[in-house]
Structure 1
Amino acid sequence: MGRTRRRTGAGGARRVTQADVAAHAGVSTGIVSSVINERDYGSIRVSQATRDRVWRSVKELGYVPNIAARNLARGSNRLIGVFTYQPLFPLESRDFYHEFLVGIEEEAERAGYHLLLFTGSQNAGRQRSIYAEGINSLQLADGSVLVGTDESSEEIARLAADSYPFVFVGQREIPGVELSYVAADYLGGTAAIVHELAARGHRRIAMVQSAHGHEGIPGRRAGFRRARAELGLSAADAPVLTLGEPPLGVDSDGTLADATAAAAWAAGRGATALVVEDSTHAVHIRDAAERAGRSVPGDLALVGLSGAPERPGVADLAEISIPRREMGQEAVRALVGLLADPGAAPPRVTLDCSLREGPSLGPPRDVD
């Protein structure tokens, strides 16, 4: 089963086998297999002295075990898959997923697993798919970590029905499916940010959510409303506003068309702080406010909720901090736990978010 070549006679070469090791050590091939694969087979029990003799023969002959066969004998490939329906490596050197992948790699190495990145399986529509050819392409790995969004609910439900071990990075809810995931506490983190703004003297705080009312990441809107209730602020003092489509401006139902309209709304209503669902929108609102002669944060404090400081302009913004590296690490720990105990309940772990301070955060101008 080994791959190392052994020189013979007139310059020929052949692979050193377990049979060669057995003959050299004076033991059976079953004992060699037991020692190399680090497990006992049936009635085979190997003394430490015999183990030492086998390993000496392995070293002297230059035998290299076949890793695939060795893992098969152990009942594990020692592989953790990483799969996403989205590209993980765009042109930018530090993408949103970078820290997740760093954490996944670190913890996999600590756990003694290799990583296998799945990127080539596509369906007829040229979209990434787990079951592109009708079979689970992830089964090359013992289990997989799923990263990103835009997942196929149908495929994920099938994956769960197949009892294949997997853990999502990010909270996922699919009706009828008990999913394993490691999530960031956006709800608690957003609520804490609103409390921090209030502690700095802000009393008119609005949340600006993305267009069409779609919430890509759950918890942030609920966190804002929870903090509003806990602080005793009215909906008029702490409204939730929705970005609309330009050039509509601010229409009768309070929808904001664009960043300029959001900045104008804050000035007209006396709002001193905006919590913005998409941090890129927060950067545009800051620029619009400054063009209109308002200072940030003196006249308007801004906090983004994307958690992606490497995006253009966001590094200069106060923002929610997502424990992405820790989430990647925890996802691998959860998966390794599932591999050790396949009958365990699906793990669901939530990690705290914090506030990353930035120059867009401060007290209102009239507060010392």
Structure 2
Amino acid sequence: MKSKLSSTLFVYLARRYVLTLIGITALLLGIIYLFDTVELLRRAAKRDGVPLSLVLEMGLLKLPDVGQTILPFAVLFSALFTFWQLNRKHELAIMRAAGFSVWQFLAPVVAVTIFAGIFQVAVVNPAGSLLLSRFETLENNYLSRRNSHVALFKEGLWLRQNGETQDENVIIYAEKIALPDWRLHRVMVLFFAPDNRFLRRIDAPEALLGQGGWTFYDATVNEPGQITSQSIPLLNLPTALTTREIEDSFSSPETVSFWSMPGFIKTLESTGFDAVPLKIRFQALLAQPFLFAAMILLAAAVSLRPPRQHGGLFLLAGGIGIGFALFFLSSFLQALGASHQIPIVLAAWSPSVIALLLGTSVLMNLEDG
């Protein structure tokens, strides 16, 4: 006959796990912050005018985003340590003798991890995206000295480049882009002097980015003071921009928060860009709480055995093996999904579903045995 888990025991188990999770997460974040700061200091040493306070700030700004990557490992290691402690002190044996099933004393830990997963997706991810955007801005200004050439809005794409002479700045707008050949549709080009004085405007239904220049088809040129416009069937505009440079100028997917992703995905699709990688990231974030719960089941499958059957080294090796196996599986499937080899849902949800099924199967055999 199974006993009902009391609220006192539920809170006790949940509190034990929460304290362990906070401690291990803080430890991992501290190690990562140390190594990131050292790397930033190395890069800052090659630049003039980068104060130490700025480097320390940049390390902190990057930390929430990196923390989202290591959080599944923290969840797994915290569960392994918590169950190992309970097992070593024979508390699990006492709970089993009292009539509690494995599912009952796992419930508080699973509930905590699901809440942690929801909190990470709903709160930590948006905050981390905002702070990472600030980090990339500081990195471009002080370390990389690289300015963004592109801005993407739902109305279309805006590009900035230097003109043929030092006395011109060029801004290019396209309502839609056809990839992979970078063919722009409904194009407008604005030329400005260094003092922001308008020089001329080019309109074209289509433009193509080639090696070393833009080619505009059926272009119309308008200049201030001219009554009539000039029509040019084929107009070339030199550029130092390349497709790779333009793509690299986009904000990284990590800077797009969970709540902004649906709108940004629509923007990408409406302008002609591939939104599949961002769709996969969005679905992976939705699956995160389930992945955390699966981590608990796998940790329990490894650690909920009599203490004499394994030691701390076995648990550590098992935890590292499980964590990295899931990490590489997730990365591999997401890469396949981003290259359109497998469906988006399969790429994002498979690791969580596989881990849940595997952990549940092992625990059911353990419980029956």
**Would you tell me which structure has more helix in proportion to its own residues?**
2
